[in-house]
Structure 1
Amino acid sequence: MRRKIALFLTFVLALGVIPFSSYAEEAYDKQLEEAILRSRKLFNISSEYDQFDYSVGSWSGTTVFYLSWSDSKGKLDNVHVSIAVDGTVLSFGKWKPIYEDQRPKLPKISKEEGLNIAMDFIKKVSPKLGNSIKHIEISQPLNINSNSYGYYFVRIENGIPYYNNRIDISVDSSTGEVTDYYVNWDRDLKFADVKNLITLEKAKELYKEKVGLNLIYKTSYKDGKPNVFLTYSPLNTNLAINAKDGEVTSIYDFYPLYDKTADMGAGGYTSNEELSPDEKAAVEGIAGLISQGEAEKISREILELDSEYKLNYVNLYKNWRAEDSYNWQLDFTKGSDSNAYYVSVSIDAKTRELVSFYRFGPEDSNKKVQYNEEKSLEIAKEYIKKMNPDKIESIELRKNYEGYRPLEEQRQYSFQFIRKIDDAYVEQDGIWVTVDAVSGNIREYRIDWITTKFPPQENVISLDKAYDILFGDIGLELKYFSPNAHGEDIKDNKEAILVYGLKSDKPSIIDASTGALLNYLGEPFKEPEIIKYKDIENSYAKDKINILAQYGIALSGDKFKPKEKMKQADFLYLLAKAHSPYVEIDQSRDKLYTSLVGLGIVKEDEKAPERIVTKEEAVKYIIRALKYDKIADLTEIYKDIFKDTGDISPGLKGYISIAYGLKIVEGSNGYLNPKQELNREDGANLIYNYLFNEI
């Protein structure tokens, strides 16, 4: 087939381009030929490409061709295109076949120019989509590790966003070429009309009544230690209000915009940490930890495992949610192949308590369901009373709004009970139970229960005040949502519905004491912004200072103070942001120096945050950041470049020579003035030269 297509294309290209057709009655090979021709024309894929491959699949009920071109000599970029049978381009990408360690390049086009290129590209390759999208501006510094601009578009129908559909596109900031393009688009989806909608004010009332805010203890983990903070937040942020009937609707919205820009650090889930054999041997010797044999005995007793269950895996794990806490995990099997039974158990190595278990095995499909959801819930509660009687009064069944359609005959039920302390829920704590609706046995059991000090629930803002903040600072918006957008073929959808849901550009986490919005670390939420200075108009380094700021390499505040002397800590901060853009800096500067000492950019005995940095010192730090210091230390191999070379500190001559060769530093009338104290504009000039040197 491929040889036939290649021969056909050779003939066709000699005659001209065939108009693209999407008629279903067209033969498969004809459709493929048209897809190839359209792609080659759209993306200027020349005959120099001598390798071609393809595959075919179905996307939303439509035939899609996946085409790729490469050059056996490795001189041309690899190209990939996925294109629907109607000619709509769904994805495009081009990349170099060999990885190149690229240094940052100074943009030759602005971000605004790149946006125009992106929009023109969309109209060219996917004209049917171009009039139904809206660009979502994400105000954040440029990524110093990327030489492209990223743009994000959402689908708009009847003037209302449908966040489940989007277009992502990247434009090279130096060449203006589109390098990546991706479309997620539900085809043949109908959208509910905008008639007879409840008002936004009514939606707010219903949200308060049916979804609401709760006092919630949230936990983040930083440096391996828990940080518990009290908030007002919805228990389920994926709940919205149906804009027509006012009922609660579970939605799966697009990825929150604040997650694209905010560094959430270690606030998310971290898996249990497996110990090495040596670590395990050391930990087993800790007083109070039960042995492997004891853990096995407890597991067999709790789950009534007879001798036919063989222990085939065992390990000791550190519990990531608590210091000096360890769990034994033991896996048992009985039988083999399709008739095997499997049980996995986790036991607290200090308290001897059951942490979790999961069991499965062959089922007899002829056996009938004996327990409905209500009876299964009773079984789950009774089991919790048996295993954790002291916790039954501290949990509450969490209502399921997920909107799944149950099977005609549900063979198991899963229940989640969330922990509650007085009036506040504990977000990550609770008990999970799955009940077999045929036998009434427990299939799965898991408890998460942090042991730490919880902040008091006194002196919190009122619930009414929290709602004012929720609706005023975050807000509800009208948007479309497709109930079957995940997990089912889109062709089965009748229409996307209209809902009022929380906006996603800020986290819905409100400090219960101050009313401030928080991120997932429990720190004040800060919207990313590009700093703009008011006092650099007359600075010789004005343009360079502004470009650095666009990349987030900037000093805080709206005044740069270009003529002010530059302190070591300020220069090193800019250098750290240029070298490692996502480095975290605290007010004490401890992390700044810890990071730079670890990288070898600063020596421990050189730390002097308040000292004014000199030109030769600044160059020294830069050359270390470039990892050229070992070469720079070979002082005898460098010639005298400046008239005042003799004024350079012993040992730094090589650093100055390399910096001069890389055009990071230059003299004036043959003089360097190495001991000159830097002004802030001088420091920014050096950082710019380090970052964007073309050598």
Structure 2
Amino acid sequence: MISAPVAIAGVSGLPQPVESRLLKPMETLAIPQVTLEEAILIVKSNFDVPIEYTDFNSTYNTYDDRQVWALRWNGTAERPGEFAAEVSAINGNIISMNYWKNDTQVGNSPSIPPITKLAAREISNNLLKRLLGKLSEDLRLIPSDSEIMPLDYSPVNYNLQYQRLIDGVPFLSNGANVQVSSTDGHITSYNLNWNEVKAPEGKGVINSTQAQQAFIKAPFFKLEYWVPSSYRPLVAGQKQVAKLVYQLRGQNGGAIDAFTGEPLQLNQGDWLMTDSFGTGGMGNAKEERAGSISDGAQVLTPQEQLEVERTAKLLKRDEAIAAVQRWIEIPANLTLRSANLGTDWRSADKRIWSFNWNSMGSDKGDGTPQYLSARVSATTGELYGFDISNQPSGKTEAKLDRLAAQNLAEEFLKKVQPDRFSQVVLNTEINNQMDKISPEPWNIQAYSYHRVVNGVDFPDNGMIVNVDPVAGKVTSYELNWSEHELSSVSGILSKEQAVESFLKARPLTLNYVRIYSNGMPGDLRLVYLPVSQDRSISISNILDAKSGELLDYQGLPLEKGPKPYNFTDLEGVNGASEIAALGQAGLFGDYGNSFKPLEKMNLGSLLRAMYLNRFGQWGNTGLTESEILKKAKEQGWLKEEMQPGDPVSREILVKVLLRYIQLDKLAELNDIYQVKFQDAAQINPDALGFFALASSTGILKVEGQVLAPLETVSRAEAATALFRALGWRK
């Protein structure tokens, strides 16, 4: 438990209450104002450090405006654990605390947490009031309504995040984080990030409507083609769809200056602080064949024969090398080290020759080539990319300025990719940044171009060229171009409609943000920034241009991700607490926050809850009913021929649950079991052992002596049986 603050007799000079102390910018590495002894007493007066943690050590460190005592108490080999805390050496604030113990008494069953989320909030709030005093009034609890509480066999902590406010305006990156044990209410972790800075006054700022209009006009949120990450490999002939989306780009995160109403301008280097090897060759081929499994004649399958025919039509190695030499010179001092004929990961139909040449000699003279890689189409010989590396030349005079280097790059692209170059435009944002870098010997000039289709940018397709301004040569080229099924531009949202949908999910709110320049903390700025109000929800910068939904990296709507369910219809229901815990784990959300306990349980709902509990929510919430059914059969949980919408009988319930917890082998020993139900004669012989085990373990609870084995079970009965079954894992 956490002890209350106590007066420490005989100790003088302890720091004053936190609200009466102000941080001062540290100009030199000063002697700590808070001594080690004082830091230890501050921690022990606010937290119970386990007396069995007798191994103690400390360190003192500084970074920017931080001076910190790091204190660490360690347990013994017999009772391992750790209690660590950081105390500001400037003002005595407890900056962080982390408490870990090796809890060997892990239950064999997920249990209903003794400490509720509401109680955890009260414990956390009391801690902050005690540690921070009046400053705690400037903290606001950040909603976490979408945080799921997994049904685990080890203790689970509630995670509570607090946002610091300055005159009611959030100061992003400043605040506190507290973790509270759901088992006994212990504080297991505490972190404070609180910078003393001068904040600009909020007078004269634009309102949120003006900020939204500025956001609409800003160039950082625009329509483009976007290719989601594919979690399934594409088959031959299949094209991935390039979706039309509105995407938030740029280094300022969509910030609008609250005074000027213009996009926040950041300089170069600025950023916002917001929240085994082979050991042998092929050997003797004849000996390998002599050791084969079968001496009979082998016949190629149709797929294998098709691959042989495809490969026969491709360029041979030397032909592909000649295709490379058509565009670039291969230095005479380089030796071919590897050649690979493979498939483009983006398209199973595209074959690519990849080559690597290296310098094998000792010549390291100025400007001597050391390495060359190149890629060409194995079908057409088209150059997909190359990169050459030379020893530094020692020369300092640049032959080309930025514009001349760009002309050289574009001349190269027009020769190598005449058709595709006509479909691209220069990336102005990247080019504007590069314009600020003069063509020094060490500054290779980079030029990036992206594809435009139907008047819409397609950033995932394009080409990049690097030019050495001293040598006056192209040193690198990369083509990123794939054939996609392009979404039609008809029926898309206007930018105004897209902004409205985007800001509905991530409202523009007034915030203080700190700008870091080249890693150094700088001034605070007052900006409007699109910030999600619930930090437990995944955020996205990508909005579907047709549906107006935020998308995840796979192109799926974010709303289909895991979230907890607060069932509102469980009053008077047997097993209400167990069902509520399942809902908080993100299970049985078929009807949102209504559980409908008296309705019949269908097979798909039960199997989905079982699968998500076993294999986790992320990446699985979008599985279809047929996919869930298939996976349940693969796992051996379901052996009967059923459909997802079929009702679950009491017999099916006990069978799938005992298979789920791997007690089915015992249950199949029918001859050793007896049951005393009045209607035992109605039990199918192959189900007798399942009912005997399920009822004797408490997984299945039957009122009275009538079992009704073939009766359809309610959602409440099935869910509570699943909860109890989780305590009988193998």
Is the structural similarity TM-score above 0.5?
yes
Structure 1 residues 244 and 144, CA gap change in structure 2 (3 angstroms): same
1:449 positional shift? 1.4
Is the 8 Å Cα contact of residues 164 and 253 (structure 1) preserved in structure 2? no
1:208 alignment partner, one of 193, 209, 216: 216
Aligned to 1:545: 579
Q: In the alignment, does 2:337 pair up with 1:319?
A: no
Aligned to 2:334: 309
Encode CA deviations 1:647-668: one digit per residue, 9 max, x unaligned.
5433444433443454322333
Q: In the alignment, does 2:545 pair up with 1:512?
A: yes
1:446 alignment partner, one of 467, 478, 485: 478
Aligned to 2:629: 593
Indicate the SS of the match to 1:540. Answer: coil
Encode CA deviations 1:152-180: one digit per residue, 9 max, x unaligned.
23332332223234544322212212223
1:613 positional shift? 1.5
1:296 positional shift? 5.0
Distance 1:363 1:162 in 2: 47
Distance 2:232 2:29 in 1: 62
Q: In the alignment, does 2:532 pair up with 1:526?
A: no
Encode CA deviations 1:167-221: one digit per residue, 9 max, x unaligned.
4432221221222334455x45433332332343333333333326432112222
Q: In the alignment, does 2:168 pair up with 1:139?
A: no
Is the 8 Å Cα contact of residues 216 and 496 (structure 2) preserved in structure 1? no
Is the 8 Å Cα contact of residues 474 and 508 (structure 1) preserved in structure 2? no
Indicate the SS of the match to 2:574. Answer: coil
**Aligned length, in residue pairs:** 656
Is the 8 Å Cα contact of residues 245 and 542 (structure 2) preserved in structure 1? yes
Indicate the SS of the match to 2:629. Answer: helix
The more displaced of 320-329 and 423-432 is 320-329
Larger Rg computed on CA atoms: 2
1:554 positional shift? 1.9
1:49 positional shift? 1.9
Encode CA deviations 1:40-83: one digit per residue, 9 max, x unaligned.
44442234224345555433342334443332324242333344
Structure 1 residues 619 and 253, CA gap change in structure 2 (3 angstroms): farther
Aligned to 1:611: 646
The more displaced of 395-404 and 139-148 is 395-404
State the one-letter code of the partner of 1:176: G
Is the 8 Å Cα contact of residues 59 and 69 (structure 2) preserved in structure 1? yes
Encode CA deviations 1:311-341: one digit per residue, 9 max, x unaligned.
4455555433223334444443336698783
1:683 positional shift? 1.3
Is the 8 Å Cα contact of residues 214 and 424 (structure 1) preserved in structure 2? no
Aligned to 1:94: 99
2:256 alignment partner, one of 232, 241, 252: 241
Distance 2:116 2:625 in 1: 34
Distance 1:123 1:572 in 2: 46
Q: In the alignment, does 2:475 pair up with 1:436?
A: no
Q: In the alignment, does 2:425 pair up with 1:396?
A: yes
Q: In the alignment, does 2:266 pair up with 1:231?
A: no
State the one-letter code of the partner of 1:415: Y
Is the 8 Å Cα contact of residues 566 and 680 (structure 1) preserved in structure 2? yes
Q: In the alignment, does 2:188 pair up with 1:179?
A: yes
1:649 alignment partner, one of 664, 684, 687: 684
1:589 positional shift? 0.9
Structure 1 residues 479 and 27, CA gap change in structure 2 (3 angstroms): closer
Indicate the SS of the match to 1:325. Answer: strand
Is the 8 Å Cα contact of residues 274 and 513 (structure 2) preserved in structure 1? no
Is the 8 Å Cα contact of residues 88 and 128 (structure 1) preserved in structure 2? no
Is the 8 Å Cα contact of residues 476 and 503 (structure 1) preserved in structure 2? yes
Percent identity over the alignment? 23
State the one-letter code of the partner of 2:358: T
Q: Which runs of 5+ in 1 are unaligned?
A: 1-12, 257-276
Counterparts of 1:116-515 in structure 2, within 5 Å, are 116-124=122-130, 130-144=136-150, 147-184=156-193, 187-211=195-219, 213-220=221-228, 221-225=230-234, 226-236=240-250, 238-249=253-264, 286-287=310-311, 288-291=313-316, 294-296=319-321, 298-299=323-324, 302-312=327-337, 315=340, 318-334=343-359, 341-363=370-392, 367-400=396-429, 411-471=443-503, 474-484=506-516, 487-490=518-521, 493=522, 495-504=523-532, 507-515=540-548
1:586 positional shift? 5.6
1:351 positional shift? 4.2
Indicate the SS of the match to 1:544. Answer: helix
Aligned to 1:19: 14
Distance 1:33 1:404 in 2: 53
Structure 1 residues 200 and 653, CA gap change in structure 2 (3 angstroms): same
Structure 1 residues 669 and 468, CA gap change in structure 2 (3 angstroms): closer
Structure 1 residues 156 and 305, CA gap change in structure 2 (3 angstroms): farther
1:137 positional shift? 0.7
Encode CA deviations 1:618-665: one digit per residue, 9 max, x unaligned.
122112222333343344555657566555433444433443454322
1:49 alignment partner, one of 53, 65, 71: 53
1:630 alignment partner, one of 653, 657, 665: 665
Distance 1:353 1:344 in 2: 15
1:467 positional shift? 4.2
State the one-letter code of the partner of 2:519: E
Encode CA deviations 1:364-410: one digit per residue, 9 max, x unaligned.
56613443433333333233223222112221222327979956775
Aligned to 2:285: none
1:148 positional shift? 1.8
Is the 8 Å Cα contact of residues 17 and 37 (structure 1) preserved in structure 2? no
Structure 1 residues 25 and 531, CA gap change in structure 2 (3 angstroms): closer
Structure 1 residues 300 and 409, CA gap change in structure 2 (3 angstroms): closer
1:520 positional shift? 4.2
Encode CA deviations 1:111-165: one digit per residue, 9 max, x unaligned.
1221222333344556696444322213215231562222223332332223234
Aligned to 2:291: none
1:298 positional shift? 4.5
Distance 1:36 1:315 in 2: 62
Aligned to 1:4: none
Distance 2:181 2:532 in 1: 28
Q: Which runs of 5+ in 2 are unaligned?
A: 1-7, 17-22, 235-239, 276-281, 283-302, 534-538
Aligned to 1:68: 72
Distance 1:694 1:360 in 2: 58
Q: In the alignment, does 2:716 pair up with 1:681?
A: yes
Indicate the SS of the match to 1:459. Answer: coil
1:593 positional shift? 1.0
Indicate the SS of the match to 1:324. Answer: strand
1:26 positional shift? 8.1
Distance 2:308 2:170 in 1: 56
Is the 8 Å Cα contact of residues 597 and 714 (structure 2) preserved in structure 1? yes
Structure 1 residues 128 and 352, CA gap change in structure 2 (3 angstroms): farther
Indicate the SS of the match to 1:116. Answer: helix
State the one-letter code of the partner of 2:49: I
Distance 1:30 1:686 in 2: 57
1:591 positional shift? 1.5
Indicate the SS of the match to 1:48. Answer: coil
Distance 1:467 1:243 in 2: 18
Indicate the SS of the match to 1:676. Answer: coil
Structure 1 residues 28 and 501, CA gap change in structure 2 (3 angstroms): closer
1:451 positional shift? 0.4
Distance 2:428 2:456 in 1: 16
Aligned to 1:265: none
State the one-letter code of the partner of 1:584: N
State the one-letter code of the partner of 1:563: L
2:703 alignment partner, one of 647, 650, 668: 668
Structure 1 residues 694 and 593, CA gap change in structure 2 (3 angstroms): closer
Is the 8 Å Cα contact of residues 217 and 424 (structure 1) preserved in structure 2? yes
Structure 1 residues 299 and 88, CA gap change in structure 2 (3 angstroms): farther
